[in-house]
Amino acid sequence: MNATVFLVSTLFNLYLMVVMLRLWLQLARADFYNPFSQFVVKATQPVVGPMRRAIPAIGRLDTATLLFAYAVVVLKFVTLNALFSNAEFSIIAILVVSFPSLLDQFLDLMFFVLIVRAIMSFVSQGGNPIEMLFQQLTEPFLAPIRRVIPPMGGFDLSVLVAIIAIQFLGILLTDVFGKLR
């Protein structure tokens, strides 16, 4: 049973990260002609495309993609409760817990992108499309950290500070809302 819960939850979380990446790409105005960006767009376009025609954007925020991400989280909780819970579940409770869970998943996505970017900075020789895309995604919140803590001895500590801040926010969300997975 635990293995099945893990598998179902992981599949929903992976697709949710792809949907949130699309939203993040739009907010960061990243290169949509990047091969990785094209994968993200093609993986989400069948649902987001028709939704965008009906739900207008608010400024740079693509509300259709945000609503779809929220729907994926709600569907994840409904599926897990329907498959593995003997007790009755409240759709209102699921709708309420889905929002902080969406925030938690976005923090996880940011964490993974920062970790991959940090590893690639040591390994890659530059010019990698994923590395360039991750730089476009993370620079808006790493640049202000670098202004306060400049690189020391060739080491950029802004990624470490951002990871610590993300972990703090994740723990704070857990303290306020309880376990969100």
pLDDT of residue 1: 67
Domain membership of residue 26 as a residue range: 2-177
* Cβ contact 76:9 at 8 Å: yes
Mean pLDDT of the chain, nearest integer: 90
Give the range among 69-78, 91-100, 121-130, 160-169 with minimum mean pLDDT.
Answer: 121-130
Q: Is the pLDDT of residue 94 over 70?
A: yes
pLDDT computed for residue 91 by the predictor:
85
Rounded average pLDDT over 142-171: 91
The Cα 117–Cα 132 span in angstroms is: 9
User: Please, which pLDDT band fits residue 82 given cuts at 50, 70 and 90?
Assistant: confident
- Which residue type, as a one-letter code, is found at position 170? G
pTM: 0.89
- Please, which pLDDT band fits residue 180 given cuts at 50, 70 and 90? low
Judge contact between 131 and 120, C-beta under 8 A: yes
pLDDT at 89: 76
Report whether pLDDT(7) > 90. Answer: yes
Total structural domains within the chain: 1
Helix (H, G, I), strand (E, B) or coil at 11: helix
Q: What is the C-alpha to C-alpha distance for residues 145 and 56, in angstroms, rounded to an integer?
A: 33
pLDDT tens-place string over residues 104-131: 999 999 999 999 988 988 887 777 888 8
